[in-house]
Amino acid sequence: MNPLCKPNEHALSRRQWLGGMGGAAAAGALGGLVSPAVGEVLKQKEKQVLFIWLDGGMSQLESWDPKPNTQFGGPFRSIPTKLPGIHVSELMPRMAKKMDKICLVRAMRTQDNSHSAGVPRIQRGDPKNRGVIYPYFGSAVAQLMGPTASGLPPYVWVKPGSGGFKPTDAGFLGPKYGALAFGDGQPPPNFLRPATLSPEQDTARNELRRAFNFNYAQPRRKANNEANTYVFDTAEILLKRREIFDTSKYPQKEKDRYGNHLLGQHMLIGRKLLEAGCRFVKVNSYGWDTHGDHFNGTVSLVNRFDQAFAAVLEDLEATGQLDHTLVIAMSEFGRTPRINGHAGRDHWPEAWTIALAGCGINAGAVIGATNAQGTFVKGDEYDIGHMFHTWFRALGINPDAVEFDNGGQPLPIAHDDMGVIPGVLA
């Protein structure tokens, strides 16, 4: 029996100059360097989310919570960071210099150690079982906060592989609140208007579509038809920003800074989507399920993440957008302290780390700790339900006062036996 998981389971720089200015003022002062659309988003200061999902399980021991020179520490050293007394893995030199911009929660203890159970549970927040399928965090934010003033799709997903509309993320909220996925960072197939179709013909065709949809919907349940109309209407707005996906027009220095790899280029597109005004942007990275040859694999994985994460934080801070963007970097669990017979680390929900930054977050805080061997949390432990309470509060949503409406049935938006993680919020 193969013990390994299969792939399907899983001079003064511009930035320094901007860093000394307020967000909207900086956008105005830059003129051509920041587009008018970006300036509008910054001016409105609408809260947004950048959700970085490292699918498969990032090792806390080779990233945020190293334990060098211990039984399970592995071969890599730890390095000091900008925060006195706080160390990270030597594989993260860029983020070591930016630790004052983020908050680490080193005391996560969740339940599921399989991808099939862990991925949906973590992204849904694991509310009490009420016999319904809860929405992923992106869908919840899309429903509770709606699109920004830009009118762009509120929940978009930049990922390797296939794209298209992903309604299942929405759970009981209905398909309207699913994710619009950009596979390999590209618009869905047939997204762009054919060259043979004039703008006037396209407008007439859409008006006819709306009329047919209206007539079709009258005697039927509205959820699916509403989702279909919503996707078409928001896609129509997104068409006006199609230059986001043409990375050949991005400055080469910008692409190099994010990294000439999938995660780097997808993170760059994710930042452009935030600037354009998407409410919730998820950026996916795969390949983190390192049951075999863990240490060689981790070198490239963590280095790429370190480069892309540092670059996006730097740019969001430079324009002032970090002040109203909640940034989350996480997996479905961590990796085992014990190293297996394949020189790998297995799944470990018992003690792992989530990194946060931006809107409402206590930058420079390190919450909780693991024991000397890194095997378990030392002191208070936090489940994903606590994290959902914390995220919602950072976005200005009170989980104690706001509920979902499931066809007249009120449902809590976060686990009602849990609360905010102390020390995380500013």
**Which tens digits make up the pLDDT trace of 141-173?**
999 999 999 999 999 999 999 998 899 999 999
* Closest C-alpha to 161, from 284, 6, 301: 284
Whole-number Å distance between alpha carbons of 121 and 124: 5
142, 394 contact by CB (below 8 A): no
Superfamily of structural domain 23-191+241-412: Alkaline Phosphatase, subunit A (3.40.720.10)
The overall average pLDDT reported for the chain is 88
Predicted local confidence at residue 233, as pLDDT = 76
- pTM of the complete model: 0.88
Domain boundaries, the chain: 23-191+241-412
Whole-number Å distance between alpha carbons of 84 and 112: 34
Predicted local confidence at residue 207, as pLDDT = 82
pLDDT range class, residue 44, cuts 50, 70, 90: low
Whole-number Å distance between alpha carbons of 183 and 287: 16
Whole-number Å distance between alpha carbons of 369 and 105: 8
Predicted local confidence at residue 222, as pLDDT = 64
Among the residue ranges 29-33, 103-107, 264-268, the one predicted with the least confidence is 29-33
**Which tens digits make up the pLDDT trace of 374-398?**
999 999 999 999 999 999 999 999 9
204 CB neighbour count, 10 Å cutoff: 11
Whole-number Å distance between alpha carbons of 134 and 267: 27
Q: Could you give the percent of the chain with pLDDT greater than 90?
A: 72
**CA 150, chain centre distance (Å):** 20
* Closest C-alpha to 322, from 133, 65, 33, 101: 101
Predicted local confidence at residue 211, as pLDDT = 82
Q: Whole-angstrom distance between the N-terminal and C-terminal Cα of the chain?
A: 49
Predicted local confidence at residue 130, as pLDDT = 85
In the 3-class helix/strand/coil scheme, how is the chain assigned residue by residue? CCCCCCCCCCCCCHHHHHHCCCHHHHHHHHHHHCCHHHHHHHHHCCCEEEEEEECCCCCHHHCCCCCCCCCCCCCCCEEECCCCCCEEECCCHHHHCCHHHEEEEEEECCCCCCHHHHHHHHHHCCCCCCCCCCCCHHHHHHHHHCCCCCCCCCEEEEECCCCEEEHHHHHHHCHHHCEEEEECCCCCCCCCCCCCCCHHHHHHHHHHHHHHHHHHHCCCCHHHHHHHHHHHHHHHHHHCCHHHHCHHHCCHHHHHHHCCCHHHHHHHHHHHHHHHCCCEEEEEECCCCCCCCHHHHHHHHHHHHHHHHHHHHHHHHHCCHHHHEEEEEECCCEEEEEECCCCCEEEECCCEEEEEEECCECCCCEECEECCCCCCEECCCECHHHHHHHHHHHCCCCCCCCEEEECCEEEECCCCCCCCCCCCEC
**Which tens digits make up the pLDDT trace of 323-382?**
999 999 999 999 999 999 999 999 999 999 999 999 999 999 999 999 999 999 999 999
Beta strand pairing status for 155-159 and 334-339? Answer: unpaired
369, 379 contact by CB (below 8 A): yes
Is the model's pLDDT at 19 over the cut of 50? no
Mean pLDDT, residues 185-209: 81
Predicted local confidence at residue 258, as pLDDT = 98
Q: How many residues does the chain have?
A: 426
* Closest C-alpha to 289, from 78, 109, 76, 113: 113
pLDDT range class, residue 241, cuts 50, 70, 90: confident
363, 102 contact by CB (below 8 A): yes
Mean pLDDT, residues 397-416: 95
Residue 8 corresponds to which tokens in the numbers above?
């399907």
